[in-house]
Amino acid sequence: MAALGGPSLSWSNVADLIRLRNQTGSLLLLFPTLWALVLAGDGHPPLPLTAIFVAGVFVMRSAGVTINDLWDRDLDRRVHRTRERPLASGRMQPGAAVAVFLALIGIAASLVFLLNPFTIALSPIALLLAVLYPLAKRVLPLPQAILGAAFGYDTIYSLQDLDDDQRIDVHSAALLFGTWAWVAVGSALSSMVAVLGLVGLATGLAWPFYVTLLLTGVLFAWQARRIKHPVAPAQAFALFKQHVWAGALILLGIWSGALLR
C-alpha cells in the first residue's frame, strides 16, 4: 500500500492531488445535484440513482482538480496557497497525474453509462468544461463563469489569491470586479435565491422551503456585506465553506417542502 507504481504515485500524493482531505468542493457540487434529484423524485429520489450521482460528484471533482493541477503546475509554484501541491512541489510527475486523471474519467464514464441516453449525450460537455477552466483563467476576464458552469464555485473563492493572481498575471473575477466584488457576489447570490424561489413556485413546494430560502438569503446578504471590505485569504476560504451549509439548508427546504406539498 506504500505505492501505486512508483514514488510519485504514492497513496499520499494521490490523496493530496484529488484533495481527499478537503471535500468542500465535492459538497458544493453535490448539494445542487441532490436538489435536482429530490425535486424530480417528489422528495423520494431513487436510491440507486442517488448513489450513482453521489459517486459521480466525487469522481468528477477529483478529476477536475487533477486536470487543474496539471495545467497549472508552473503557476501553482508561484502562489503561496498552492505551491505545496504534489505537481507544483515536484512530489508527483505529470505522467502520474495523467494516469490518475484517465482512471477517474474511466470510472466516471462507467457511471454515466448507467444513466439515460440524454444524460450520456450531455456528459462530454461537462468533461469539456472541467478540462477548459484552468485554461480560461489565462484568457478570459471572468473565468469563474466557466468554473461555475462546471462545478459551481464562486468569486468569494477567488478572493484568496487576489494578490498572487495579479502578480502572476492570470485572470479572476476578484480582479475583474475589484472593489465592486461585493456587488457582483450579492447580485449573483440574489439571482440564485430568486430563481430558486421561482422553482419552488413552479413545483408547488410547501412553506418550509421558503423559510430555508429566506435564511439562506440572509446569509448571502451578510456575506456580500462582509466582502465589501478587504478580507484575508483564510477569511475568504471560511466564507466559501459557509456555502456548504447553505446548500444543506436549501436541500432540507426542498425535501421538506416536497413532502408537505
| Phi, psi angle pair for 81, to nearest 5° | -70, -25
pLDDT in tens, 139-198: 888 888 888 887 777 789 889 988 888 888 888 999 999 999 999 999 999 999 999 999
CATH number at residue 8: 1.10.357.140
What mean pLDDT comes out for the span 251-259?
97
pLDDT bucket at 7, cuts 50 / 70 / 90: low
Rounded (10°) angle between helices 47-76 and 24-40: 150
Question: What mean pLDDT value characterizes the chain?
Answer: 92
Residues 29 and 143 in one domain: yes
Residue 2: pLDDT over 70? no
Mapped to the 3 state alphabet, what secondary structure does 103-127 carry?
HHHHHHHHHHCCCCHHHHHHHHHHH
**Looking at the structure, do residues 121 and 67 belong to the same domain, yes or no?**
yes
Q: Answer yes or no: do 13 and 135 share one domain.
A: yes
**Structural domains counted in the chain:** 2
Residues 146 and 46 in one domain: yes
Within a domain: residue 164?
A: no
Q: 134-137 long-range CB contacts below 8 Å, 24 or more apart?
A: 134/67, 134/68, 134/70, 134/71, 134/72, 135/71, 136/171, 137/170, 137/171, 137/172
- Does residue 42 belong to any structural domain of this protein? yes
Report the candidate in 220, 207, 216, 227 with the shortest Cα–Cα distance to residue 249.
Answer: 216
Rounded to whole angstroms, the Cα distance separating 218 from 44 reads 28
Query: Does residue 141 fall inside a structural domain?
Result: yes
Place of cell 444524460: 119
Residue 160 DSSP code: G
- Verify that 242 and 118 share a domain, yes or no: no
Question: pTM of the predicted model, to two decimals?
Answer: 0.91
The reply to whether 169 falls in a domain is: no
Four-residue CA torsion sign, 196, 244, 119, 254: negative
Query: Which range of residues forms the domain containing residue 8?
Result: 1-153
Residue that is last in its domain, among 98, 118, 153: 153
71 and 125, same structural domain? yes
Average pLDDT for 113-125? 94
